[in-house]
Amino acid sequence: MFDVMAGLHASIGILAALHHRDRTGTGQHVEVNLLSSALSGLVNHSSGYVAGGTVPFRMGNAHPSLFPYEPLPTADGELIVIAGNDGQFRKLCQVLDLPDLPDDPRFGRNQDRTAHREALRPILVERLARRTKDEWFRDLLAAGVPCAPINTIDGGVALAEELGLDPVVTVGDVPGVRNPITFSDTPARYELPPPGLDEHGEEIRAWLTS
């Protein structure tokens, strides 16, 4: 993951340097390292230590300062359920048929839910266990509550197709993952498949010696 993140940081840095060059005519050296990218990518964990001295500990997929914001079990598997603010938590409770839960002083505000997560979790788990993850996913999403089943890669591709993201592109006979960036005026083009061994070697050598 940090290899990918460092590559993205390098791309951003190169684009910024090109913009600076276009404005000033001066180029510059762009440098990226894996550790700095890792610390940047840890976001609230590294910032919490640097700004407040808090050293994070293992919490699985739970969020240190939001609850619920983690996978929770349903009748047939886990569903990631997110209540990023008090309004989303109230919507969650409406779908779960727990309309009075947000009025409980332990759960009304995010800081209270986070402090009392061990009391709140079993209440949510008991209610979620009554239906399947796909049933909850459909109803929670319709209510504006961020959530998603935990997918294998095939499930993730299927979900992207269902959402109309058209995730797979085939060039020649080789399928691949579509560029995730959409441009309104200059869309990505898929003209050539990955080359065979030395397929373009002659052209590349000619270019290098020209």
Rounded to whole angstroms, what are the CA distances from 138 to 68, 104, 123, 141, 142? 18, 27, 21, 5, 6
Which residue among the candidates 3, 100, 166, 185 is catalytic per the annotation?
A: 3
SS3 47: helix
Residue 128 burial (10 A CB sphere; 0-12, 13-18, 19+):
buried
Q: Are 34 and 42 in contact (CB under 8 A)?
A: no
Active site residue 139: no
Rounded to whole angstroms, what are the CA distances from 63 to 10, 47, 67? 28, 14, 7
Amino acid at 82: I
Distance between alpha carbon 39 and the CA centroid of its chain, in Å?
17
Residue 71: CB atoms within 10 A of its CB come to: 19
Place of tokens 């404005």: 23
Instruction: At 140, list the tokens.
Output: 């929670």
User: Which residue numbers are catalytic?
Assistant: 3
